[in-house]
Structure 1
Amino acid sequence: MQAQNTRDHLLEVGLRLIHSRGYASTGMKEILDEAQVPKGSFYHYFPSKEAYANEVLKLYAQGEGERGERMLRDRKIAPLKRLHRYFEELIRVYGPTAEVTGCMLGNLTLELADHSDSTQALLQESFSTWQAILAEVLREAMERGDLPRSTKPEELAGFLLNSYEGALLRSKADRSVKPLETFLHYSFDVLLQQGR
């Protein structure tokens, strides 16, 4: 395996294991065994497990950014319809019936944000980027007249993002899709319909 391929392979293994099991429950031995990489090679690329987890988190955020680009930038579809489809896909991919449940950003926020400044900063940046992408779609809806001119896109995007993350967390606790269905209903059938 070439150097870059080894690093990328380790990150892909970490993405799968840490997302499905969590940071604390994923041991270095599991990562090394799954990747079939010696310990020395791991530490050649990553000075610590925390630094490794941060790189895994960046890879996850990059993948989710690409999903957002693909689904939210398609101007052939009305902005609020795009946004609704986007959240429906996230629920399908990360909801209680998915192979791996939960958003990695949310999961690692609960697990690491209070204990690691570098991870907390990365989580904050990832959520801010995500919120900005959602705000752009809401701004477009405003410009089309689909939302009132008084709408504050950044704040509304933050509210939607926070509501989704909370509903996803609750759906894990309840082992039910109902909190996510409630999120979709109140966000799109009530909140975003008002003022139209």
Structure 2
Amino acid sequence: MGEWERDTVRREGRGGRGARGKGRGRRRAGAGETDTRGRILEVTLNLMRAKGYEATTVDDLCAAAGVTKGAFFHHFHSKEHLAREAANCFAEFAAGIFSSAPYTKLKDPLERFLGYIDFRREILQGPIEGFTCLLGTFVQETYHLHPALRALCHEHIWGHASTLVEDIRAAKEKYAPASEFDPEGLALHTQAVLQGAFILAKAQGSREPAVESLQHLRRYVELLFGVSATTSKEPSYVTGQDSGSGAS
């Protein structure tokens, strides 16, 4: 877990987005309660990405966080409640990373969209559970048994995809105005590729199939917008520096 993710957990422990609607009218939690809630959320992000929702027990979470079951149920009335809070925490963490990523500073909308794809490829580092998606893991396991959790994950996945729509629409107007594809559909397609790539990485025990999937996605987008192919490790999209290559 990175420092940004830990910071997000700390905010959630203090009653961030995941506590909305429940903290109103209640006294402010003390430092000890905040630390306990944050620790439980932190180990949840780690364990449930590694083991999944069903295989991770409350006993596992309590042992990893160093808390009693009484402390656990003081903050979360069920494992599903905790999973929903963890999903909110993960979504906030991801939003912070992508909203400040270097590619967002590029001037051209297609450069930014391609930069997003390159950035997604570049952050496929470390243990598989460290770069795969908690939301996708939840959906795959619980879509039928836990509809509230499924709906929340859908909201966050679509919410992330929607951040790409404006750039895709602007790039379509500039580079492919006669094309009939739907910008929202293409934004969702990127998430379908990513979630599938994560599954392949887990199946193979390696990041390589995920990296290759994102390289194919990049080539597809270049063809869709009718721009000449660029190198698969184009630095401008990752660093935020215009290099003069790529879309023009």
TM range (shorter): 0.7 to 0.9
Larger radius of gyration: 2
> Which of 194, 218, 221 matches 1:164?
194
Asked whether the 8 Å contact 2:53–2:138 carries over to 1, the reply is: yes
Cα offset for 1:122? Answer: 0.6
Asked whether the 8 Å contact 1:20–1:101 carries over to 2, the reply is: no
Normalised by the length of structure 1, the TM-score is 0.84
Distance in 2 (alpha carbons) for counterparts of 1:76 and 1:84: 10
State whether structure 2 residue 72 is matched by structure 1 residue 42.
yes
Q: In the alignment, residue 139 of structure 2 is paired with which amino acid?
A: T
The answer for unaligned runs of 5 or more in structure 2 is 1-30, 227-248
Identical aligned residues as a percent: 27
State whether structure 2 residue 184 is matched by structure 1 residue 142.
no
In the superposition, relative to structure 1, how do residues 72 and 153 fare at CA in structure 2: closer, same or farther (>3 Å)?
farther
In the TM superposition, what whole-angstrom CA distance separates every residue of 1:138-183 from its partner, at most 9, and x where no partner exists?
123235x244364421011011111221122123213344433442
State whether structure 2 residue 62 is matched by structure 1 residue 32.
yes
In the superposition, relative to structure 1, how do residues 169 and 128 fare at CA in structure 2: closer, same or farther (>3 Å)?
same
What SS is found at the alignment partner of 2:56?
coil
Identify the residue that residue 113 of structure 1 maps to in structure 2: 143
Cα offset for 1:96? Answer: 8.0
What SS is found at the alignment partner of 1:47?
coil
The answer for unaligned runs of 5 or more in structure 1 is none
State whether structure 2 residue 22 is matched by structure 1 residue 22.
no
In the superposition, relative to structure 1, how do residues 83 and 97 fare at CA in structure 2: closer, same or farther (>3 Å)?
farther
Distance in 2 (alpha carbons) for counterparts of 1:108 and 1:186: 26
Distance in 2 (alpha carbons) for counterparts of 1:193 and 1:183: 15
Cα offset for 1:26? Answer: 1.6
Task: Map 1:81-92 onto structure 2 (within 5 A).
Answer: 81-92=111-122
Asked whether the 8 Å contact 2:103–2:116 carries over to 1, the reply is: no
Normalised by the length of structure 2, the TM-score is 0.68
**95-104 vs 161-170, which deviates more?**
95-104
Identify the residue that residue 13 of structure 2 maps to in structure 1: none
Identify the residue that residue 224 of structure 2 maps to in structure 1: 194
Distance in 2 (alpha carbons) for counterparts of 1:80 and 1:175: 32
In the superposition, relative to structure 1, how do residues 176 and 36 fare at CA in structure 2: closer, same or farther (>3 Å)?
closer
Distance in 2 (alpha carbons) for counterparts of 1:137 and 1:102: 24
**185-194 vs 41-50, which deviates more?**
185-194
Please identify which structure carries the higher helix content. Answer: 1
Asked whether the 8 Å contact 1:72–1:137 carries over to 2, the reply is: no
Identify the residue that residue 9 of structure 1 maps to in structure 2: 39
In the superposition, relative to structure 1, how do residues 191 and 125 fare at CA in structure 2: closer, same or farther (>3 Å)?
same
Distance in 2 (alpha carbons) for counterparts of 1:147 and 1:96: 37
**133-142 vs 76-85, which deviates more?**
76-85
What SS is found at the alignment partner of 1:148?
coil
Distance in 2 (alpha carbons) for counterparts of 1:132 and 1:72: 19
State whether structure 2 residue 103 is matched by structure 1 residue 79.
no
The count of aligned residue pairs is 195
Identify the residue that residue 182 of structure 2 maps to in structure 1: 152
